Structure formats: structure tokens, C-alpha cells
Amino acid sequence: MRFALLVQADPAQCPSAISALRFAEAVATSEHSLVGVFFQGDGVQVAQQFRRPPRDESDLQARWAKVSEDCTLPLQLCVASALRRGLVDGPEAARAGLAAATLAPPFELAGLATFLAQMQSADRVLTFGAAS
């Protein structure tokens, strides 16, 4: 089975963000595969380069990077959601005249068309959103 994931939950505020990561980690060690992971809305906060978890909490950013490496898969952020929250890559920072990028590797900016392509190549699409 091929999965595409849409993560919309803030990793610091919503348990479903951790559920998305755990699901991705499980898929990475199974016979199934991930065709894409797309972060949108508050879900993009996981890619904030200067965000550091307290010592007694898991480093979700590092764990996502491991999933990316294990699956040879980019971790893509909705460009509009990222820019609204101050997340920029090197080229965007230079274009805007900012001193530095705020986007941690291996995360990258992408448009919604990227997620649509992931959806088309997946057998299942799972959404992990914030609870209302």
C-alpha cells in the first residue's frame, strides 16, 4: 500500500501531529511505502529551524528527518502556510532581504500541486489535523 500524508496539526499543540509521525515511522519499517508527506497550516511549525523541544520531549523535527532519510522522501511544506508563519528557505530569505533561512533541512517549500500529485500516486491519503 502506498500512502500520502497531509499533516495540518501543530506539533507542540496537537497529539495528531505525533500520530502522523508515528504512522510514518511505522510505514518506513514495513512493506508499505510513503509517496509523500505534505505539511499545511499549523503543521508547518515542525520545520522551524530554531525550534527546540524541552529535554523531556521527543525531537519531532529530527524524527521526521530520519523518516525522510529512511524513505528517501522529501518533506514538503505548503509555501503559503510556511510564509505566513515566518518559515523561509535560503532562496526565499534572499529574495525577501532576510538575514537567514528559518526552514530546517530536509524540509522544503512546495505548492499544493505537489500534494495533488502525491494524492494521485497514493493508494490512501491520510490527514492528521488539529482537533476542534
Catalytic member of 6, 47, 60, 78:
78
Cβ pair 109, 70 in contact under 8 A: no
Measured between alpha carbons, how far is 80 from 64 in angstroms, rounded to an integer? 21
Q: Is 78 a catalytic residue?
A: yes
The length of the chain is 132
Residue 125's DSSP bridge partners are 4
Give the residue numbers marked as catalytic: 78
